[in-house]
Amino acid sequence: MEQERLPVTIKTKAIPAPKLSIYYPQLLLSNKTYQQKINKRIYQKVYHLFSKVNQQGYYQPGITEMIGDYEVKNNQCGIVSLTLSNFATMPTLAHPVTFLDSITTNTQTGIIYQLNELFKPNSQYRQRINELITAQIKERNIQLLGTFKGIGPNQKYYIADKTLIIYFDMYDISPGYVGFPMFPIPSFHFQDMIHDTSPLGILLT
């Protein structure tokens, strides 16, 4: 359907508060049930990022400067994949703190996908992704905190066109100066494992 090919309209909203500049996306869909479901999940992730700053003692009202933003990584064929970030700093912090999250959804069905849901049941997708990431770590000479133990069951990711980007939080597998380690993997590496109706499957066809 032609409607599925058109980019989804995305509206930027803001959370007003002193020293806070938090911007987040809200999707405008013809199906209001899907719209409400997806936008609620996006807001929950935005709030979770704020909560992480607060839980770690980095938020003081009127003192902490916080910037929240988002980037649309994919918006085609009804598939929207985006990242959400939160940057916080205040005078007593030795260095700023940054958190990152993401969401990938099919706006035609309202389904929000975990990484494992992109692949066929019982496929060895984790093993293959781990092998590809291990190769990139070596090729790119990425510094690690110990040995790379592989991706988790709820591994963070996003999609950019036909490429799957696996990423890790700061200090998760690498020193802080590395930032967020990101590993782009073209879909052809596991095309035989991809579920046909998943976002990757749709984008491949």
CATH number at residue 164: 3.90.640.20
> Does 96 lie in the same domain as 7?
yes
The pLDDT of residue 94: 59
> Does 74 lie in the same domain as 3?
yes
> Does 88 lie in the same domain as 73?
yes
> Does 108 lie in the same domain as 43?
yes
The pLDDT of residue 157: 98
The pLDDT of residue 200: 95
Q: Which amino acid is at 94?
A: A
Cβ–Cβ < 8 Å for 162, 200: yes
Q: Which domain holds residue 137?
A: 119-194
> Does 87 lie in the same domain as 40?
yes
Task: Tell me the pLDDT of the chain (205 aa) as tens digits.
Answer: 444 667 999 999 998 777 778 899 999 999 999 999 999 999 999 989 888 777 766 676 767 788 889 999 999 999 999 999 998 776 666 567 789 999 999 999 999 999 999 999 999 999 999 999 999 999 999 999 989 999 988 899 999 999 999 999 988 999 888 889 999 999 999 999 999 999 999 999 8
In a domain, residue 101? The reply is yes
> Does 14 lie in the same domain as 98?
yes
> Does 98 lie in the same domain as 16?
yes
Residue among 41, 107, 109 nearest 80 (CA):
107
The pLDDT of residue 5: 67
* Last residue in a domain, options 49, 78, 112: 112
Number of domains in the chain: 2
> Does 127 lie in the same domain as 60?
no
DSSP 119: B
| Distance between CA atoms of residues 4 and 76, nearest Å | 7
Q: Which amino acid is at 29?
A: L
> Does 131 lie in the same domain as 33?
no
Q: Alpha carbon 176 to chain centroid distance?
A: 19
The pLDDT of residue 15: 85
The pLDDT of residue 3: 44
| Distance between CA atoms of residues 85 and 58, nearest Å | 16
| Distance between CA atoms of residues 15 and 1, nearest Å | 36
In a domain, residue 44? The reply is yes
* Last residue in a domain, options 112, 137, 161: 112
User: Rg for the chain (alpha carbons), in Å?
Assistant: 18
Residue among 152, 8, 4, 168 nearest 72 (CA):
8
* Last residue in a domain, options 83, 112, 141: 112
Cβ–Cβ < 8 Å for 157, 125: no
> Does 184 lie in the same domain as 107?
no
The pLDDT of residue 23: 93
> Does 167 lie in the same domain as 94?
no
